[in-house]
Structure 1
Amino acid sequence: MSSLKVRLDKKKLERAAYVLKSVAHPVRISIIDLLQQKERLTVSELQEILQIEQSLLSHHLTNMRDKGVVNTKREGKNVFYSLTDSSITSIIDSINTCRIF
């Protein structure tokens, strides 16, 4: 048993837990999936696809932005959302391949 050890350093584990908590909601996982399919989307586009109230969507997007999961860029009247790091989309692949889901 003494040869077993945690393979990730503490900082990486803490960051992973922080990010996973920030996306641990079906709407937020859906947003990641949509932003994997199209590099950037507006609130209106996301709302149309997700079919949820704009205020609820804004709440999720603000949380994800504050946690560093998505970026925003204003262009005229539109605010575009994109992923800060596209490797987070591996969460979608993990969900699709994991048998407990």
Structure 2
Amino acid sequence: MEIAITSQRSVEKLEKVAFILKTLSHPLRLSVVDLLSQHDKLSVNEICQALNSEQSLTSHHLSNMKLKGILNSSREGKNIYYSLKMQEVVKVLACMDNCDAITI
């Protein structure tokens, strides 16, 4: 039996997908990304209101995703607005959403 050698490009792609999946491996983080994929930018308060989540927990997850390069943030007055920086996360979520193995 011959084992195929994975190309460097394939390895890099798999590593990036693994990084995205690890970073988003919490329901609130997945919800935030889904919400931000539908809006250019949202404030922490808007995200909390839309997801019915606590501000401190949501801010913690937003900070983590920003640190990992998934999100951007910008300050406007007293508000901090978040937006998607790594657009590939939307494609990964779309693949998961279209997967027949995941049913609800």
TM-score by length of 2: 0.85
Residue number in structure 2 paired with 1:33: 34
One-letter identity of the residue aligned with 2:71: V
Gapped runs of 5+ residues in structure 1?
none
SS in 1 for 2:90: helix
SS in 2 for 1:79: strand
Cα shift at 1:5: 2.9
Superposed CA offset, 1:57-97 (max 9, x none)? 01110110111100100011111100112232012211221
Tell me the percent identity.
41
Residue number in structure 1 paired with 2:6: 6
Instruction: Give me the CA root mean square deviation.
Output: 1.7
Higher mean C-alpha deviation, range 28-37 or range 1-10:
1-10
Residue number in structure 1 paired with 2:25: 24
Cα shift at 1:3: 6.2
How far, CA to CA, are the matches of 1:48 and 1:16 in structure 2?
29
